[in-house]
Structure 1
């Protein structure tokens, strides 16, 4: 089994929630992650539902301040954007980073504030899946550098060409979130990675196996798909303190009871050794790339993970 890579989610949402809108500290955290040996840095996406920094703009700054980190979205909502502009932005990002960006994508959770966000952006909620799928197909077509003609939700006249092309032929890899049965088929057939935040290790292993089978059925090698996972941790040798930290974090972040959020998202609260074992169980289930979100105290959590990285792979 190949050792998994470990990435870190920048706290863009948390900082805006506390009125700290400056970007300097976020860029410093990205540089710190690279110095500690993290493989990637991730940025969330929301416009009005959970206000935070624009992901593409911040990613460009992170790319300019680092040299080796992969930089991705966890996760972007492509349906909120015009795909021609989106393709242009990501082609430019891939050039700035010299091939280090990953487009993590999703359709958005069905909760009131995200529905409101779609309305605020002038996008139909009901058509969001079809809009995302067509947008990503159009991005890939434009990333080819070849003339594109398109007649769908968006119309491109014959001979439309996008420049610059991405650093990597074909453009950045696209990792898709979600665990629904339709997602299994979707990722197996079309995308470069699976990026869920909900399943436990047993569920992850079952879905990952089905996804690889779907890839084979579509004539693709399963090896072209990366198994990733978005996980939230509160590490503390005092288990009660860790649980309290996690509950307060989830309630404030989502304005929802923490017990409800724990059923929707994979969360860990406990000691360093228990965290190591929890992550190792996901690695054994097939996770090849972790995106870790910390419930506060980021520098300490980064040090803890860096210290145990060799025990679960890197």
Structure 2
């Protein structure tokens, strides 16, 4: 059993490697029985994985003219009809303008019935936790318990720092604000009254009239791939939501999370693992590469080669993209959120559902 790795140009090679499948590190012992065991476990991992779509809420704002929300809602409805398990929205107020995350998900909730609705990821430190807890509970009610909050703390760069300053949030204090906010939201969703005396927030006998449908509150999946972020996620999160550059990078990071979990006494078996990756699917590999490069450079205003080292990008045939997604599942991912790096979002979604996911789920 090989472990396929995405190259810089959208094709995959196969190399012998131990497979990290869910919670167990596996390696082929060379015997026919060992090979068959690996195949069975790998097949189980593929079939258990769920597949999500990142809705292009930034792209509709970047386009000329007023943003067209109907395109987003129609795409979410189409994704549900094509068998996707979840739909997701990004978040930024000023740094990368887009449709607001939670109000967009509320609109999507009205047109869908089964898909999970998630943020990928929301910068919760930019919001007061009482307000965010109330808004999120409202979306969970509107969707009948389908909301997942992917949360991040933001990385240091001038654009993000200006965004925090404009929102009146000291960037250097964002980690403390984030952690206190998570605790406050969880308590507001479950406790009759909340009194909290922290460095950043103080509450006295606060009750939230709206409670999420989901018992215990809305799941919180925390982003981050460095040790400090992993430790924070292990302390505070229900799930982990990194943005790895490749399946191998994710496998290595997940192994690190397991090590840290043992050190911290956190049982990671119930920790949901979700990854985020960008695809362009085309039988013409050169065209797929051109489209993905143009998308990434326009989106981030940064060279493609730089972004390729920072996040997972795959341009190529349906077979190559299926291998890429399959390898994330083999590496331990339980949910894979797919963003399409293309101006043709509908075409890419249909191609993925028709040509890629059947190979991954087979």
The TM-score bracket by the shorter chain reads over 0.9
Q: Aligned partners of 1:283 and 1:213: how far apart in 2?
A: 20
Higher deviation after alignment, 258-267 or 67-76: 258-267
Q: Aligned partners of 2:157 and 2:246: how far apart in 1?
A: 22
Q: Aligned partners of 1:62 and 1:306: how far apart in 2?
A: 20
| 8 Å contact kept, 1:145–1:163 | no
Query: Is 1:305 aligned to 2:322, yes or no?
Result: no
Report the counterpart of residue 7 of structure 1 in structure 2. Answer: 52
Tell me the matched-pair count: 313
Structure 1 or 2, whichever has the larger Rg, is 2
More strand by share: 2
Report the counterpart of residue 209 of structure 1 in structure 2. Answer: 255
Q: Which runs of 5+ in 2 are unaligned?
A: 1-43
Q: Map 1:61-210 onto structure 2 (within 5 A).
A: 61-152=107-198, 153-157=200-204, 159-210=205-256
| Per-residue deviation, residues 158-202 of structure 1 (Å, max 9, x unmatched) | x21111111012211111111001122222232111111133212
Query: Is 1:43 aligned to 2:89, yes or no?
Result: yes
Q: CA-atom RMSD, angstroms?
A: 1.5
TM-score (normalizing by structure 2): 0.83
Out of 242, 260, 283, the residue aligned to residue 237 of structure 1 is 283
Q: What is the DSSP-based 3-state SS (H/G/I as helix, E as strand, rest coil) of the residue aligned with 2:121?
A: coil
Report the counterpart of residue 289 of structure 1 in structure 2. Answer: 335
Query: Is 1:18 aligned to 2:63, yes or no?
Result: yes
Report the counterpart of residue 30 of structure 1 in structure 2. Answer: 76
Q: What is the DSSP-based 3-state SS (H/G/I as helix, E as strand, rest coil) of the residue aligned with 1:227?
A: strand
Question: How far did 1:220 drift?
Answer: 4.0
Q: Aligned partners of 2:158 and 2:307: how far apart in 1?
A: 15
TM-score (normalizing by structure 1): 0.96
Q: Which runs of 5+ in 1 are unaligned?
A: none
Q: Aligned partners of 2:116 and 2:264: how far apart in 1?
A: 28
Question: How far did 1:257 drift?
Answer: 1.4
Q: What is the DSSP-based 3-state SS (H/G/I as helix, E as strand, rest coil) of the residue aligned with 2:171?
A: coil
| Per-residue deviation, residues 71-125 of structure 1 (Å, max 9, x unmatched) | 0001100010000100111111111111101000111132221111111111111
Question: How far did 1:68 drift?
Answer: 0.1
Question: How far did 1:62 drift?
Answer: 0.7
Higher deviation after alignment, 36-45 or 249-258: 249-258
Question: How far did 1:203 drift?
Answer: 1.9
Q: Aligned partners of 2:61 and 2:160: how far apart in 1?
A: 17
Q: What is the DSSP-based 3-state SS (H/G/I as helix, E as strand, rest coil) of the residue aligned with 2:58?
A: helix
| 8 Å contact kept, 1:145–1:165 | no
| 8 Å contact kept, 2:91–2:101 | yes
| Per-residue deviation, residues 204-255 of structure 1 (Å, max 9, x unmatched) | 1122123234344544432321111110111111111111111110111111
| 8 Å contact kept, 1:95–1:166 | yes
